[in-house]
Amino acid sequence: MKRSSATRIMEKIGLSLNGRDVQILGIILNLQMDTRIGHTVEEIHAEANTTIEKRFSKAWIYKCLSNLENDGFIIVNRIDTPNTYSADPESIGHALQTYIDRTKIKLADEIEETEQQIEYLENIVSDDISRYIIQELAGNDVERLTGLIEGLQNVRSIIVRGMCTGVGEGDILRINAKSNVLDLGGTSSHVEQRILEAARDGLEVRALLNQAPFGIRLTETILRSFAEGEKELMETGLASGKVQIRLADKEETGYTMVSLNRDKMVLFLAYSPRPDSVALITRKGNHILIDDAVNSFDALWDRAQDLSKTYSKMFRNFVDGSKN
């Protein structure tokens, strides 16, 4: 392989021939060509300051050697006194493969994020965007677009920005979930945190749990896990009544949705603890569907069993326990 090709490949995986770590690796390899043995820090330091224009302090040598060892480029012989450092094609090849694999994972994540953005943009109608811009520039209140929202990050964003921002006293957030309401973000509690912060600022949150299809038995485990990060916010919301939790009748489910007042609604298209495809519906877009969903929710809510005191006591115990 030509040197220029190797250089380009190294740069693509985050390595530079002019980088300090790589330069020290080169010093070790050059010393080994003559002696075939490992070399001490003193020897590497002396050779570096002889062959490289920019002088290295001994502290920098130790830092570079530590980096090279952590990445697997060099072999440290700690039986020798002082320690000696060496490298061979196997160690360098293994380290390079680690860099390649790491870069592939990073690129795969970037591809997935880009594909989600493309899918999101494909579902936006340019006429809707133009009306949105005109309304915003004119200083009018802008109603979010009605349409399909795809991609986990986009779903999270529409709930956080569209339903937990600029809300307070008099606003009601209704959440109807199949088995729990605290798993919207999967391993991340960002959505749940913003909901609870909005409740602290006056938003009324009504969470309606459903026993079907997996049962309420999951909820306590989920709440206990969630409490580790958000126990104070949750306990405060439950104690103030701004966060209310009820259990629906066993046979009833209703819409799986998150709605803000009767103004907008995120309708889940399929049950999933990590929803990545939802329908965003505004009152202007379909007021009949929103009214039907909210009326259905309220009917279930009125007949549901109130669990707020139970969970308030649970979270109070979590808080008190964490202070002991």
Query: Domain residues of the chain, as ranges?
Result: 3-108, 125-323
Q: What is the pTM of this model?
A: 0.53
pLDDT of 222 higher than 60:
no
Q: How far apart, in whole angstroms, are the C-alpha atoms of residue 222 and residue 183?
A: 8
Choice among 102-116, 133-147, 182-196, 274-288 with the minimum mean pLDDT = 133-147
Are the CB atoms for 256 and 284 separated by under 8 Å? no
Eight-class DSSP state of 81: S
pLDDT value of position 45: 92
- On whether the CB atoms of residues 172 and 206 are closer than 8 A, the answer is yes
Task: Tell me the mean pLDDT in the region 131-159.
Answer: 66
The pLDDT score that the predictor gives to residue 216 is 40
pLDDT above 70: residue 142: no
**27 in Cβ contact with 51 (< 8 Å):** yes
Local structure of 269: helix, strand or coil: coil
Q: Regarding the domain delimited by 125-323, which CATH topology (the fold level of the hierarchy) does it fall under?
A: Endonuclease; Chain A (3.30.870)
Going by pLDDT thresholds of 50, 70 and 90, the confidence category of residue 294 is very high
What is the SS3 assignment for 316? helix
Contacts within 8 Å (CB) and 24+ apart, 138-142: none
The CATH-assigned architecture of domain 3-108 is Orthogonal Bundle (1.10)
Question: Which pLDDT score, from 0 to 100, does residue 229 have?
Answer: 59
Asked if 164 and 200 count as a contact pair (C-beta separation under 8 A), the reply is no
pLDDT for the residue 291: 93
pLDDT at 184 (0 to 100): 47
